[in-house]
Amino acid sequence: MTASQNPLINDRDVEFLLYEVLDAPRLCELPYFADHGRETFDLYLQSCRRLARDVLFPTYKPVDESPPRFEGGAIKVHPALKQVFRPMVELGMLTASRPAAVGGQQLPLVVATLAGAYLMAANLSACGYLGLTTGAAHLIETFGDDTLKAAFMTRMYAGEWAGTMALTEPQAGSSLADVQTRAARTEAGHYLVRGSKIFISGGDHDLTENIVHLTLARIEGAPQGIKGVSLFAVPKLRPERWPERWNERRDEGGRLIPNDVEVAGMIHKIGWRGLPSLSMSFGERGDCHGYLVGSPHQGIAYMFQMMNEARIMVGVNAAATASAAYHEALGYAFVRPQGRRLGSRDPAAPQVPIIEHADVRRMLLRQKAIVEGSLALLATTALYADLAAQAADAEERARAQRLVDLLTPVAKTFPAEKGFESNALAVQVHGGYGYSSEYLPEAWLRDQKLNAIHEGTTGIQGLDLLGRKVVAEGGAALRALGGEIQRTIGRAQRAGVEPAWGERLGAAASLLDEVTAHLGEAGARGDVERMLRHSADYMELVSTLVIAWQWLAMAAAAREGLARGASPAGFLEGKLCAAQYWFSTELPRVDALAALCRSGEDSYARMKPEWF
Amino acid sequence: MTASQNPLINDRDVEFLLYEVLDAPRLCELPYFADHGRETFDLYLQSCRRLARDVLFPTYKPVDESPPRFEGGAIKVHPALKQVFRPMVELGMLTASRPAAVGGQQLPLVVATLAGAYLMAANLSACGYLGLTTGAAHLIETFGDDTLKAAFMTRMYAGEWAGTMALTEPQAGSSLADVQTRAARTEAGHYLVRGSKIFISGGDHDLTENIVHLTLARIEGAPQGIKGVSLFAVPKLRPERWPERWNERRDEGGRLIPNDVEVAGMIHKIGWRGLPSLSMSFGERGDCHGYLVGSPHQGIAYMFQMMNEARIMVGVNAAATASAAYHEALGYAFVRPQGRRLGSRDPAAPQVPIIEHADVRRMLLRQKAIVEGSLALLATTALYADLAAQAADAEERARAQRLVDLLTPVAKTFPAEKGFESNALAVQVHGGYGYSSEYLPEAWLRDQKLNAIHEGTTGIQGLDLLGRKVVAEGGAALRALGGEIQRTIGRAQRAGVEPAWGERLGAAASLLDEVTAHLGEAGARGDVERMLRHSADYMELVSTLVIAWQWLAMAAAAREGLARGASPAGFLEGKLCAAQYWFSTELPRVDALAALCRSGEDSYARMKPEWF
């Protein structure tokens, strides 16, 4: 199998999720999506597939092999990225789900997410520039004033300028409360920004004329901690004159001049090698203009819009990366002959393809369960996001938003963590060849590792889930999830899915409620350490359960399909096998995880640093 | 913390294993080890530590960054490797455990193994050349005639020439039954060898004048399958005249001339970057002389000596690689300030080192449990190997050999598989910095992946454990293991270790017996597929249990130490925390694993290739 035969994502699976599991076209009954239907969904999906397979994927390996260069203070990216950037913009990747008012296509996120997964599977780094740009533009769309929108957002959504998120600082890392970049207000209204940022993805490049950094900084005199952090748009180049209302005609602002934003160094990342990660200096010469987005001191709250979008996007990155590797391993297992069936004693018999070996099928089925389970969770979360934004009923919107909030840390973490294991299995299926850079799986394995680190590490997602999401509004989100799970159990029953699966999922959901109540009591007593001690196990518990829920939904849709004679039947049988695998191999783990959370097992709590 | 402060392996832990857990000096009551004692053990350990930390470790990163070059048909290695090769030879790494008769030091393997772990942790690739050379020389020592010993073994043990194992072929991979390299006997007594090999580690280099490839090939007319494979010594350069008895004076054989062994290509490995992995051609010009080792058609049986040694060595490689990364992460966690303790509301309070965060301690304790559990298992297995070779009583030797045979696949697989997870955690503890090649953990993560692939993949180890090792001699090995476990449970009871741990371990051991009997019945019925279907889960079950056994032994020794006031007490408390972690977090998994094995859960068994 050559690379070009790798489908990256299974088309039938995407169709299955959108039309058989989720019934995404029902969204088109809502006014916002009224111009859409299955036909426009499929058209966008087909365009993304084609671009992913024919244009992006062939650039993946060359870009991985030649990372950006830092020369003369500026970053030069791989030439192939320049060839793919415009086609991605023209496809509408920046604005697929944005409203027509800002030039968007108003596609449901559930469609844009799955379509985007093809592009990410084909070339993660190339997509990174667009994901950052659209996320940054969306911040300005939501919180910026008309001047900022005209100055920055319009050009960003058009792909003329790029965007970044500039949060992390060397001394603070994940601790945004410790942001020290300063912003001093000038009489002209703009701010002078000064500080250092690190790990700025796409912080400089030569794909676009200009780059707008959505930057966290502290206004002089602001309170300490997260309550004193504000959000600024800090462009690489600024208009010589800042116009009152900067419309789309460039000359109103005069020519673009450097804004004292400098690349201080490039980090040699082990993956995502097409997207530079930079340390950057703002205002070393005292001439870095920043433009306040929204109100002062609201920066963290605003930034959470981009961070939450980015977290779901990281989940899609992760699922896509695992998917590309899974399909590569699957293709390899069909064509690589080695050994014979167990019990075959005839050394003259021809060797069999390795997919005939049970343990190879185990590794492939595990990858399938992780990859397709992840995609299902991400599609489901995206559908809730569509409902949260557009559902007719305010109560339904609120309920959907709670589900999005609850599922976001899970949809980021499960694909990143289990995706890494899945990617390692893809290497393993390739044997010794998998350990070489002549084959692709090792590159995807490197790419994948970042997803457990950036946009909030796995540890931080666990604290977010248990410390914030499940306790918000008296546990309303978990109740909403419980309702969704019950609906799926009902559907599975009606479809004739193995009844034990629904029962076990229901029992696991009750167990989760019980554990959560128990931990919530510790929190209510003020014992936050005790409540959060097993947040990693709690995350694993929720993830395992939520993916079981997704597999039950897929099993139900598969049974429905088999009943009505949908094709290919083998695809639906495969879904049932993967569901069986998850229910028999993974779901039983929730008991031990719940026991750890509930007992408060204290080995690492009482382990003193000097005891290591 | 700079790299040079990394201890690689914890000295106190090695001392603990040798003298407090295992009582290695009791070996010196045996005649073979009579010249040794704690003093000579410590001397050798100290020399290895010093060389590892002062000489080898500083070469690790430069060697990783500049892989060997393939120029003019030959491999040129990094110059730093030339500087470290002789000192490693002079230290006695090639012959530490070999008998004085062949120039060795007759050290117990348990000491040589732990001492070698320092060197491997410092520079895995550099050690690879020596490990291969000593393993290849040992094959000749055991199975070769005096001429071969004089010609090759002596020079190899002296480090003048190097050795390799040349098994794998492109079309056969793990399936040694499909070896197609041919050997035709000549009238002069040598064979003409012709064939292609792949993944030959150290297959060429410029560290030594000559390289002797211990090569599997099929004598013309030999039966098909593994019963027709013979073992040959195939040197890179051969003596112009093959002498009757080639003593140590070079000129007896005349000058060395090329032996028609060619490098066909170099595989770009993602780790172990100092040790080339080559595809090689033997006899393309019809002039490749091979010298039969032992009797015809016994090649696989002979090679198992080297493979079994190599499998344990891979386990040590894996444990050492995980250890180096663990200590790097631990050092980083002490010095990296970030965030505040949970519940701290004062943004002006200084940040705390990340080791203060429970989830970081969880990641470190998990690494400690894996690393130190692996080292304990490897030390224990090596001690059994010492007893298997040297115990006074034949029955004791046989019993120890059964334990070595049983534990070898586990001692190879657990450190490789869980070590990979441990290495990933070391990257994770480093956050975004861990994702860059400016820091070391990513390199060790790359190194580690190979250990689940080479010398028999994890899948093959599972088949070996369940399909061969536990069923041999009517289950004698598992009974011997059960006896050892009971002894440890008794020791733990007497030492005052938490009684529940011993009870749970005993219950898990009974469960293993039961599951094994159940699977053995399927095998006895001829249903080999059913017996081996869950060999991966069976391996995980045995590994989890065996490591729990090691942690119980360490807990017992720690309690004994605390009772007699051994120091530092913190080290012993840390051992108890890690044991607690394993018993509460990992051992409970055996129930679900046993259920999978017993039920024969059939998801991937019935999954058809076309259903994926």
Contact call for A359 and B459, based on CB within 8 A: yes
Which residues, including other chains, have CB under 8 Å from residue A376's CB and lie 6 or more apart? A17, A21, A550, A551, A553, A554
Rounded Cα distance between A215 and A236, Å, is: 12
> How would residue B173 be classed by pLDDT, with cut points 50, 70 and 90?
confident
Contact call for B269 and A436, based on CB within 8 A: yes
- Assess whether the previous peptide bond of B568 is cis (omega < 30° from 0): yes
Alpha helices in B430-449 (DSSP H): 431-434, 441-449
Classify B525 as helix, strand or coil: coil
Rounded Cα distance between A213 and B517, Å, is: 64
Q: Report the residue of A471, A607, A610 to disrupt the B interface, i.e. the one with the largest count of B CBs within 10 Å.
A: A607
Cα B346 from chain centroid? 50
Rounded Cα distance between B520 and B527, Å, is: 10
> Packing angle between helix B569-581 and helix B358-390, nearest 10 degrees?
90
Choose among B457, B571, B610: nearest Cβ to A431: B457
Closest-CA residue of B relative to A266 is B436
- Say if residue B588's pLDDT is above 70: yes
Residue A2: predicted pLDDT: 41
Q: Report the residue of A338, A589, A604 to disrupt the B interface, i.e. the one with the largest count of B CBs within 10 Å.
A: A604
Classify A266 as helix, strand or coil: strand
Contact call for A342 and B529, based on CB within 8 A: yes
Which residues, including other chains, have CB under 8 Å from residue A510's CB and lie 6 or more apart? none
Which residues in chain A are contacts of B364 at CB distance < 8 A? 604, 612
For A194, how many CA atoms within 13 A lie in the half-sphere containing its CB? 8
pTM of the model: 0.96
Rounded Cα distance between B414 and B376, Å, is: 12
DSSP-assigned letters across all residues of A371-405: HHHHHHHHHHHHHHHHHHHH-SSHHHHHHHHHHHH
End-to-end CA distance of chain B: 48
pLDDT in tens, B324-360: 999 999 999 999 998 888 877 787 888 899 999 999 9
Choose among B330, B336, B436: nearest Cβ to A270: B436
**Single-letter amino acid code for the residue at B331:** G
Contact call for A570 and B338, based on CB within 8 A: no
Choose among A351, A420, A581: nearest Cβ to B178: A351
> How would residue B1 be classed by pLDDT, with cut points 50, 70 and 90?
very low
- Say if residue B2's pLDDT is above 70: no
Contact call for A334 and B438, based on CB within 8 A: no
Spot the catalytic one: B309, B455, B540, B560: B455
Contact call for A268 and B357, based on CB within 8 A: no
Closest-CA residue of A relative to B329 is A612
A90 an active-site residue? no
CA neighbor of B125 nearest in space, from B171, B68, B69: B68
Q: What is the largest CA-CA distance in chain B?
A: 88
Give the mean pLDDT per block of 10 residues along chain A (612 residues). 75 98 98 98 98 98 96 96 97 96 96 98 97 96 95 96 95 83 94 96 97 97 92 95 58 81 96 97 97 96 89 97 98 93 81 95 98 98 97 97 97 98 98 96 98 96 96 95 98 98 98 97 95 98 98 98 95 98 98 97 97 97
Closest-CA residue of B relative to A462 is B359
CA B548-B550-B554 angle, 5° bins = 115
* Average model confidence (pLDDT) across chain B: 95
Q: Is A39 exposed, middle or buried (0-12, 13-18, 19+ CB in 10 A)?
A: exposed
Closest-CA residue of B relative to A227 is B347
Q: Look-up: residue for tokens 């023209």?
A: A90
Q: Compute how many other C-beta atoms are within 10 angstroms of the C-beta atom of residue B223.
A: 12
**A494 min Cα distance to partner chain B (Å):** 23
Residue A175: predicted pLDDT: 81
DSSP-assigned letters across all residues of A116-154: HHHHHHH-HHHHHHHHHHHHHHHHHHHH--HHHIIIIIH
Cα A28 from chain centroid? 25
CA neighbor of A535 nearest in space, from A456, A446, A476, A480: A456
CA neighbor of B110 nearest in space, from B312, B382, B314, B352: B382
Q: What is the ipTM of this complex?
A: 0.96
**A246 min Cα distance to partner chain B (Å):** 38
**Single-letter amino acid code for the residue at B291:** Y
Residue A305: predicted pLDDT: 85
Contact call for A453 and B358, based on CB within 8 A: no
CA neighbor of A457 nearest in space, from A176, A120, A64: A176
pLDDT in tens, B206-247: 999 999 999 999 999 999 888 999 999 999 999 888 765 555
**A149 min Cα distance to partner chain B (Å):** 32
Range scoring the smallest mean pLDDT among A284-288, A336-340, B152-156, B451-455? A336-340
> How would residue B538 be classed by pLDDT, with cut points 50, 70 and 90?
very high
Which residues in chain B are contacts of A569 at CB distance < 8 A? none
CA distances from A60 to A120, A164, B2, B39, B546 (A): 10, 22, 35, 57, 43
For B67, how many CA atoms within 13 A lie in the half-sphere containing its CB? 17
Contact call for B351 and A178, based on CB within 8 A: yes
Residue B110 contacts residue B376 (beta carbons within 8 Å): no
Which residues in chain A are contacts of B333 at CB distance < 8 A? 609
Paired tokens of A297: 């001191």
Classify A87 as helix, strand or coil: helix
Rounded Cα distance between A190 and A513, Å, is: 50
- Say if residue B70's pLDDT is above 50: yes
**A443 min Cα distance to partner chain B (Å):** 9
Spot the catalytic one: A442, A455, A484, A560: A455
Contact call for B362 and A604, based on CB within 8 A: yes
Residue B171: predicted pLDDT: 84
What dihedral angle (degrees, nearest 10) is formed by the CA atoms of B27, B28, B33, B34? -160
Rounded Cα distance between A279 and A197, Å, is: 6
Between B146 and A347, whose confidence is greater?
A: B146
Which residues, including other chains, have CB under 8 Å from residue B25's CB and lie 6 or more apart? B18, B19, B37, B38, B41
